[in-house]
């Protein structure tokens, strides 16, 4: 297995697979961030939106994102867009939900303090609401990333592409157990590195600076 | 001193008048009358204190003066003009200090100035006020690194930086220990001497009210009405533990005791006598925000 790992990197198939997967997730994840934070803000801001599509959002979030693949293939064909669609559907809803709950749970005293100093309109959003909701948004970013990563792997497994998921699939086809396990290790490692080193740290720092415990 | 800067140019006769103000809230079990026809006239530069049992509407009244809430009936006027929206000319200082944890100390102080002037100007002003509250050395600290007393000081500096003509303080020192509070009393009084601002100060600590106020208003239990007004004719600066302050505090405490008893009866929902339960404490002792 270790040999397969080293071999895979020497051979550059792993490197190529990794770079393709990471490139995909970067694009899909960034789009998810924009959509998720935007939607979360709107739903948190307008009660009507919350009442109408609030439960739809939490309902859809339960659906494993890979279930979107058939629909995505019908819409976009077997291509890059279909896989991006699956990533986005996996990630952006949880980001939206976390953003919305962050906004809903802002201590009202922050808003009152800002308003008494004459802050209003857009300023109230950019200078108070957004920063106050940031720890919760970071939680959503972390959650969203891990959903995005899972969705991507599932998507790559299920259809032809050159990502890491596809390497797993070829390993199976060649009956090459060491390669399968080696690829799994790489997938876990990438997941851990982003989750633990990037998002958990970010979340922890924000929470402690914002004076929130746990 | 710089603090005096534009206050002089403002219109003379910055009276604050609260005219037959009532406030209703709609709660789960129907309407709640929080305040019932409150009328108070406040002259420019006066130091006014409100005391009353908790839940009697002091915060609500302060918020209406600030423009954060609107009266159900009646009006609040500042120099004749109806107060409808918040303005940086009337700044509230809250008990929780309500500093923004994502900003450091100096950024908190300059928060209200950001769109009004360039960085250099607002930094200069913010530093002046931070020094005034003796926190000059802490301008780069973050909120979670400050003690309760320091937070109160930053909140005061943040409000003063806006040069408001009315300062509204809602139990700003309630969470602090007695020593810190004594020092802050001196400082806020000194600031008031210099700025000639009108101050409305809410507290549940009767001695604090006597220590600071020109006049002290005692509120009834809900619905809040003015039960009694006391003119405090004592020379300044006053000492919280001096005989004359304690004497005044006793008088006010007697008024308040009736109301708190009423409130407690309602709370525990049975025949409840304070004397029997031996809950009475000497006048002036902090009654605690739970009462
Ligand atoms: N937003 C609100 N909605 C419903 N009831 C409220 C609201 N704000 C205050 N109240 C009620 O009004 C009364 C007065 O509250 P408050 O002004 O905070 O009292 P105080 O500051 O004197 O303790 C209380 O009974 C409180 O429960
Ligand atoms: Mg209150």
Residue B276 has pLDDT above 80, yes or no: no
Residues of B in contact with A117 (CB under 8 A): 88, 91, 111-112, 158-159, 162
CA distance B286 to chain A (A): 24
CA distance A55 to chain B (A): 24
The percent of residues in chain A predicted with pLDDT above 90, rounded, is 55
Q: Output the pLDDT for position B270.
A: 53
Atom in ligand 1 nearest the alpha carbon of residue B58: 22
Helix axes A69-76, A80-104, angle to 10 degrees: 120
Residue B3 has pLDDT above 70, yes or no: no
| Domain boundary assignment for chain B | 7-89+164-280
Q: Output the pLDDT for position B183.
A: 93
Measured between alpha carbons, how far is A155 from B195 in angstroms, rounded to an integer? 67
Q: Output the pLDDT for position B258.
A: 86
Ligand nearest to the CA of B50: 1
What integer is the mean pLDDT of B92-118? Answer: 93
Q: Output the pLDDT for position B287.
A: 47
* B64 → chain A, closest CA residue: A116
What integer is the mean pLDDT of B231-236? Answer: 94
What integer is the mean pLDDT of B173-187? Answer: 92
What integer is the mean pLDDT of B227-252? Answer: 94
- The per-residue pLDDT for range B129-146, each reduced to its tens digit, is 999 999 999 999 999 999
Q: Which residues pair with B51 in a beta bridge?
A: B218
Q: And the tokens for A161?
A: 């592409």
Q: Output the pLDDT for position B108.
A: 97
Atom in ligand 1 nearest the alpha carbon of residue B171: 21
The domain A2-209: what is its CATH number? 1.10.3720.10
CB-based contact B100 A131, cutoff 8 Å: yes
Q: Which residues contact B128 (CB under 8 A, 6 or more apart)?
A: B2
Atom in ligand 1 nearest the alpha carbon of residue B57: 17
What integer is the mean pLDDT of B249-277? Answer: 74
- The per-residue pLDDT for range A92-140, each reduced to its tens digit, is 999 999 999 999 999 999 999 999 999 999 999 999 999 999 999 999 9
Q: Output the pLDDT for position B14.
A: 61
Residues of B in contact with A120 (CB under 8 A): 86
- Tell me if chain A has a CB within 8 Å of the CB of B141: no
Q: Which one is predicted more confidently, A162 or A98?
A: A98
Question: pLDDT class for B24, splitting at 50, 70, 90?
Answer: very high
Pocket of ligand 1 (CB under 6 A): B 25, 27, 32, 34, 52, 54-60, 222
Residue nearest to atom 10 of ligand 1 (CA): B25
Measured between alpha carbons, how far is A45 from A37 in angstroms, rounded to an integer? 12
Give the residue from B72, B43, B42, B49 showing the smallest Cα distance to B60: B72
Residues of B in contact with A132 (CB under 8 A): 100, 102
Q: Output the pLDDT for position A52.
A: 86
Q: Output the pLDDT for position B268.
A: 67
What integer is the mean pLDDT of A5-10? Answer: 78
Question: pLDDT class for A159, splitting at 50, 70, 90?
Answer: confident
How many H-runs (helices) and E-runs (strands) does chain A carry?
11, 0
Residue nearest to atom 14 of ligand 1 (CA): B57
CA of B27 to the centre of ligand 1 (A): 10
Of A118, A119, A209, the CB nearest to B101: A209
Q: Output the pLDDT for position B273.
A: 54
What integer is the mean pLDDT of B217-230? Answer: 93
CA distance A109 to chain B (A): 6
CA of B206 to the centre of ligand 2 (A): 15
Residues of A in contact with B108 (CB under 8 A): none
In chain B, helix, strand, coil percent, each to 5?
40, 25, 40
Residues of A in contact with B92 (CB under 8 A): 112-113, 116
What integer is the mean pLDDT of A30-40? Answer: 96
CA distance B198 to chain A (A): 16
Q: Output the pLDDT for position A58.
A: 86
Residue B10 has pLDDT above 70, yes or no: no
Judged on CB neighbours under 10 Å (0-12, 13-18, 19+), B67 is buried
Question: pLDDT class for B150, splitting at 50, 70, 90?
Answer: very high
Residue B281 has pLDDT above 60, yes or no: no
Atom in ligand 1 nearest the alpha carbon of residue B60: 17
Sign of CA dihedral A36, A41, A46, A47: positive
ipTM reported for the complex, 2 dp: 0.83
Task: For tokens 């609500």, name the residue.
Answer: B60
User: Which CATH entry fits the domain spanning B7-89+164-280: 3.60.110.10, 3.40.1190.20, 3.30.2130.10, 3.40.50.300?
Assistant: 3.40.50.300
Residue A160 has pLDDT above 80, yes or no: no
Q: Which one is predicted more confidently, A214 or B151?
A: B151
The percent of residues in chain A predicted with pLDDT above 70, rounded, is 99
Ligand nearest to the CA of B290: 1
What integer is the mean pLDDT of B186-197? Answer: 93
What integer is the mean pLDDT of A187-195? Answer: 92
The percent of residues in chain B predicted with pLDDT above 70, rounded, is 87
Measured between alpha carbons, how far is B262 from A108 in angstroms, rounded to an integer? 30
Q: If phi over 0 gives left and psi between -120 and 50 gives alpha, with beta otherwise, what is residue A17?
A: alpha
| Domain boundary assignment for chain A | 2-209
CA of B170 to the centre of ligand 2 (A): 7
Q: Residue B121 — φ and ψ, nearest 5°?
A: -60, -50
Residue B224 has pLDDT above 90, yes or no: yes
């Amino acid at each position: 297995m270790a040999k397969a790992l080293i071999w895979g990197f020497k051979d550059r198939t792993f490197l190529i697979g990794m770079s393709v997967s990471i490139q995909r997730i970067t694009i899909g994840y960034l789009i998810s961030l924009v959509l998720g934070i935007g939607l979360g803000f709107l739903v948190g801001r307008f009660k009507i939106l919350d009442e109408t599509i609030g439960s739809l959002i939490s309902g859809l979030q339960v659906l494993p994102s890979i279930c979107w693949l058939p629909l995505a293939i019908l819409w976009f064909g077997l291509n890059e867009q279909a896989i991006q669609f699956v990533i986005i559907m996996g990630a952006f809803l949880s980001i939206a939900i976390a953003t919305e709950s962050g906004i809903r749970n802002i201590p009202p005293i922050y808003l009152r303090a800002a308003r008494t100093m004459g802050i209003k309109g857009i300023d109230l959003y950019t200078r108070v609401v957004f920063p106050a909701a940031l720890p919760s948004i970071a939680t959503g970013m972390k959650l969203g990333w891990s959903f995005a990563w899972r969705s991507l792997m599932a998507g790559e497994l299920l259809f032809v592409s050159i990502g890491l998921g596809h390497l797993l699939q070829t390993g199976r086809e060649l009956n090459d157990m060491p390669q399968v396990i080696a690829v799994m290790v790489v997938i876990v490692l990438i997941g851990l590195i982003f989750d633990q080193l990037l998002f958990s740290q970010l979340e922890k720092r924000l929470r402690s600076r914002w004076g929130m415990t746990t | 001193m710089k603090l005096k800067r534009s206050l002089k140019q403002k219109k003379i006769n910055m009276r604050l008048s609260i005219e037959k103000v009532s406030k209703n809230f709609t709660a789960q079990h129907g309407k709640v009358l929080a305040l019932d026809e409150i009328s108070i006239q406040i002259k420019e530069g006066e130091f006014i204190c409100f005391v009353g049992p908790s839940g009697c509407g002091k915060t609500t009244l302060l918020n209406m003066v600030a423009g954060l809430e609107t009266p159900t009936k009646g009006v609040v006027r500042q120099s004749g003009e109806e107060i409808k929206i918040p303005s940086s000319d009337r700044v509230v200082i809250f008990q929780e200090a309500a500093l923004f944890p994502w900003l450091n100390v100096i950024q908190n102080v300059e928060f209200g100035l950001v769109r009004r002037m360039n960085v250099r100007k607002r930094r200069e002003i913010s530093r002046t006020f931070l020094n005034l509250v003796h926190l000059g050395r802490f301008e780069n600290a973050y909120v979670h690194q400050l003690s309760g007393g320091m937070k109160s000081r930053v909140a005061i500096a943040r409000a003063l930086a806006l040069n408001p003509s009315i300062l509204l303080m809602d139990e700003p020192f309630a969470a602090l220990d007695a020593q810190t509070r004594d020092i802050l009393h001196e400082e806020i009084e000194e600031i008031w001497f210099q700025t000639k601002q009108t101050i409305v100060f809410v507290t549940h600590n009767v001695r604090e009210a006597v220590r600071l106020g020109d006049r002290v208003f005692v509120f009834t239990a809900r619905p809040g009405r003015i039960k009694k007004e006391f003119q405090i004719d004592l020379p300044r600066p006053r000492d919280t533990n001096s005989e004359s302050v304690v004497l005044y505090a006793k008088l006010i405490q007697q008024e308040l005791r009736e109301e708190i008893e009423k409130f407690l009866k309602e709370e525990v929902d049975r025949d409840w006598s304070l004397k029997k339960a031996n809950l009475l404490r000497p006048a002036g002792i902090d009654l605690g925000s739970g009462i």
